[in-house]
């Protein structure tokens, strides 16, 4: 119990919940500053545009409040995502209307780069097999085209972010709202079921024509591992 109390008190010193005695000479102050500096460094590298928009003083204050919230992760690269969730959930940046979109766009790159993946098998897309969005991609329906450096509101701006196993890097691709919804259906439907559902959504009767229009893009997505072949058990899980 005593050891746990000491650990909790130490954490309190670091996150600012407990004042450090004799701060001018106490080595805990240096450790606290190092933790703050490390978070600052990681966030500036992961979200350079967003951090620049915040400005140094506001960023410094938000990092301090973030550390006080006691974020828990064994991996430093997860800090940008945790910081994003903290700011959104606590409404710290509601005055920046495009904040959520910009933070997602910048932080997801680190998340994808640091992901652990098995090198995918090259499976050409076909409508009779089960395909789903891969674990090495993320997609989001944005309201601000932040990938273009534009912060003006738009009704819908669907974006895919994916890890390239050929380039060992992360790329983005803009897609249509139609394709976004189709890929969303693939999370829990077979391709033919997704086709029927999206045609019903848009009141389209010519399924074969839609199928032909989607074919080329889906073949390209399977080659880029944006979608991957899966089993029915994978889909249920």
Indicate if 67 and 171 belong to the same structural domain. Answer: no
Find the domain containing 63 and state its range: 1-115
What does the pLDDT read at residue 1?
39
Query: Do residues 150 and 228 share a domain?
Result: yes
Indicate the residue among 66, 95, 115 that finishes a domain. Answer: 115
Encoded tokens for 95: 């005055």
DSSP one-letter string for 72-140: --S-GGGHHHHHHHHHHHTTTTTTSTTHHHHHHHHHHHHHHHT---PPPP-----TTS-EEE-TTEEEE
Cβ atoms of residues 121 and 68 within 8 Å: no
Provide Rg for the chain, Cα atoms: 22
Q: What is the model's pLDDT at position 32?
A: 63
* Three-class DSSP labels, 160-220: EEEEECCCCEEEEEECCHHHHHHHHHCCCCCHHHHHHHHHHHCCCCCHHHHHHHHHHHHHH
Report d(CA 35, CA 71) in Å as an integer: 12
Q: What are phi and psi of 172, to 5 degrees?
A: -125, 160
How confident is the model at residue 114, as a pLDDT?
Answer: 93
Domain ends where: 90, 115, 140? 115
Residue 175 and residue 228 in one domain? yes
Q: Which of 82, 115, 148 is the last residue of a domain?
A: 115
pLDDT of residue 71: 86
If phi > 0 it is left, if psi is from -120 to 50 it is alpha, else beta; for residue 136 that is alpha
Q: Give pLDDT, residue 47.
A: 97
pLDDT (tens place) for every residue of the chain, 237 residues total: 334 443 344 344 334 444 544 455 444 454 567 778 889 999 999 999 999 999 999 999 999 899 888 888 888 899 999 999 999 999 999 999 999 999 999 999 999 999 888 777 778 899 999 999 999 999 999 999 999 999 999 999 999 999 999 999 999 999 999 999 999 999 999 999 999 999 999 999 999 999 999 999 999 999 999 999 987 655 545
Q: What is the CATH number of the domain that holds 140?
A: 3.90.930.50
The total number of structural domains in the chain stands at: 2
Asked if 6 and 68 sit in the same domain, the reply is yes
CA separation, residue 26 to residues 12, 22, 119, 139 (Å):
15, 6, 49, 47
HSE-up (13 A, CA, CB side) for residue 181: 13
Claim to verify: residue 93 and residue 172 sit in the same structural domain: no
**Same-domain pairing of 43 and 76:** yes
Tell me what pLDDT residue 233 has. Answer: 56
Give the three-class secondary structure for 5: helix
């Amino acid at each position: 119990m005593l050891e746990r109390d000491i650990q909790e008190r130490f954490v309190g010193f670091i996150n600012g919940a407990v004042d450090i005695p004799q701060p001018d000479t106490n080595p805990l102050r240096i450790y606290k500053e190092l933790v703050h500096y490390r978070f600052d460094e990681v966030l500036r590298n992961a979200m350079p545009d967003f951090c620049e928009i915040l400005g140094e003083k506001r960023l410094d204050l938000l990092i301090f409040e973030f550390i006080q919230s006691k974020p828990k992760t064994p991996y430093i690269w997860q800090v940008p995502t945790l910081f994003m969730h903290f700011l959104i959930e606590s409404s710290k940046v509601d005055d920046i209307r495009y904040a959520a979109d910009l933070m997602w766009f910048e932080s997801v790159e680190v998340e994808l780069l640091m992901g652990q993946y098995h090198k995918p098998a090259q499976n050409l897309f076909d409508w009779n097999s089960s395909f789903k969005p891969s674990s090495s991609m993320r997609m989001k329906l944005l309201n601000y085209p932040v990938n273009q450096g534009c912060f003006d509101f738009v009704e819908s701006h669907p974006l895919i972010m994916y890890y390239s196993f050929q380039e060992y890097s992360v790329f983005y691709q803009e897609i249509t709202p139609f394709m976004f919804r189709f890929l969303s259906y693939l999370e829990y439907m077979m391709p033919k079921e997704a086709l029927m559902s999206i045609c019903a959504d848009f009141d389209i009767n010519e399924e074969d024509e839609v199928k032909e229009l989607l074919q080329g893009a889906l073949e390209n997505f399977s080659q880029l591992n944006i979608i991957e072949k899966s089993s029915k058990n994978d889909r249920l899980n």
